[in-house]
Copies of this chain bind each other. A is one copy, B any other.
C-alpha cells in the first residue's frame, strides 16, 4: 500500500487485512515499530479527532508527528494554478506541499470541499492537485468527497458490535444549521456497500446524493453481494434496520446556494433523530455518527446518552484503524 486516500483503492480482502492489523496492534502494541519515522499533518480545516488520534497513534508506534495549519502560525497557501500571487497568500501549495513531504516519511492532508461547484468537488480537484505533488506515502485526512479513515474506523466498529455483514444499514440525513460537505456521507455509503450490507439512503427531497456517489456505492455493493437504494420514507427505511448512521449534508439541488439550501432546510425540523424513529427497527439498532454532532439539532440528547449510541466507540476506533494504516504504509 503506497497511499490511503480512498477505501475503494483496496478490495474487500485488503480492508479486512487492515482491520486484522488494527486489532493486532490494539492487543499487541509495537511501541518501537516506527522509531525515527515522521508523520506530517496538514490541516486546511479544523479537526479534533483526526488531529489528536493521528498524533497519539503515531507516538504509540514509536514515531513522531508535526502539524501545519495554514493561516495559523503558518501563512495561507495559494492553490490556484497560474495565480499572480499579489494578495494575502504568501506561498503556493506547489512549493509548500512538496517541501513538507520532503521532511516526513508519510504525509496526511485535510482539505474540505469548497462547496461552490459540485462538479469540481466531485472531481476532488484540490486534493488531487496536492496529492500529485507528494512523492511519499499519503493519507487522506478528509477531502471534498472522501474520509477513508472514518470509513475504516466505522467498519471496525460494526465488526466489534457483530453487526452482520448483510445487515440493514440506514444512512439518514439529519438537521444542521447550515450545509455541510458530502465527504462523510459519500465515504460511509461506499463503506457499508463494500461491507456487503443492505444500504438505504434516507433523505428529504432536494438532498439526494449525487449520481456519481450512488453509482460508486452500487458498484461496491455488486462486488460484495450488498445493495444500495434511496428513499425519503423514514418508516420504510427504518423497518428492520440494524444501524442508523446519522449525517448532515448540504442540499445537492442547491449546491453552493446558501439561500436555496436554507429555505429547504427550514422546513425539515423533524429530521432530528429521536427514539420514536426506532419503533420498527431491530431492537438492538445502533446509532452511529462521525462527530462532531450538534446535540438536540441532529440527534436528541436521550439518544446520544442512551444505549443505542456507539459514537464514542467509533471515534476511539479512529486511532487503531489509523495505526494500521501508518504501519502498513511504513513497514510494508
A38 within 8 A of B: yes
- Least CB distance from A110 to B in Å reads 11
Would you mind naming 27 contact pairs between A and B with Cβ atoms under 8 Å apart?
Answer: A31-B35, A36-B62, A38-B56, A38-B59, A40-B56, A46-B74, A48-B68, A49-B99, A52-B66, A52-B103, A55-B66, A56-B64, A56-B103, A56-B104, A57-B103, A59-B64, A69-B73, A82-B296, A84-B296, A85-B296, A86-B297, A90-B294, A91-B291, A95-B291, A95-B293, A95-B315, A96-B292
On whether the beta carbons of A36 and B47 are closer than 8 Å, the reply is no
A2 within 8 A of B: no
Q: Hey, which chain B residues are within 8 Å of A102, CB to CB? A: 312, 315-316, 319
Inter-chain pairs besides A38-B60, A52-B100, A102-B316, 6 sampled, C-beta below 8 Å: A47-B73, A48-B99, A67-B73, A87-B177, A91-B293, A99-B312
Q: Hey, which chain B residues are within 8 Å of A315, CB to CB? A: 95, 99, 102
- Least CB distance from A41 to B in Å reads 10
Interface string of A52-84 (1 = CB under 8 A from B): 110111011011101111001111001000111
Contact of A91 among B57, B98, B292, B296 (CB under 8 A): B292
Known interface pairs A69-B73, A74-B46; A95-B52 also in contact (CB < 8 Å) = no
Contact of A297 among B56, B85, B96 (CB under 8 A): B85
Task: Specify the chain B residue showing the minimal Cβ separation from A41.
Answer: B52
Task: Specify the chain B residue showing the minimal Cβ separation from A313.
Answer: B102
Report the Cα distance A85→B175, complex, angstroms: 11
Total copies of this chain within the assembly: 3
Q: Hey, which chain B residues are within 8 Å of A295, CB to CB? A: 78, 83-85, 92, 94
Report the Cα distance A36→B93, complex, angstroms: 34
Q: Hey, which chain B residues are within 8 Å of A38, CB to CB? A: 56, 59-60
A7 within 8 A of B: no
Known interface pairs A56-B104, A297-B86; A48-B35 also in contact (CB < 8 Å) = no
On whether the beta carbons of B68 and A103 are closer than 8 Å, the reply is no
A307 within 8 A of B: no
Is the interface on chain A under 10, 10 to 19, 20 to 34, or 35 or more residues? 35 or more
Query: Which residues of chain A from 99 to 132 have any CB-CB distance to chain B below 8 Å in the complex?
Result: 99-100, 102-104
A164 within 8 A of B: no
Known interface pairs A36-B62, A84-B296; A74-B99 also in contact (CB < 8 Å) = no
**Residue of A90, A177, A296 most packed against chain B (CB within 10 A):** A90
On whether the beta carbons of B53 and A103 are closer than 8 Å, the reply is yes
A301 within 8 A of B: yes
Report the Cα distance A64→B72, complex, angstroms: 22
- Least CB distance from A156 to B in Å reads 14
Task: Specify the chain B residue showing the minimal Cβ separation from A72.
Answer: B73
Rank and list the top 8 A-B pairs by shortest CB-CB distance, nearest first.
Answer: A31-B36, A91-B292, A59-B64, A85-B294, A102-B316, A55-B66, A56-B103, A99-B315
A306 within 8 A of B: no
On whether the beta carbons of B55 and A292 are closer than 8 Å, the reply is no
Report the Cα distance A307→B120, complex, angstroms: 31
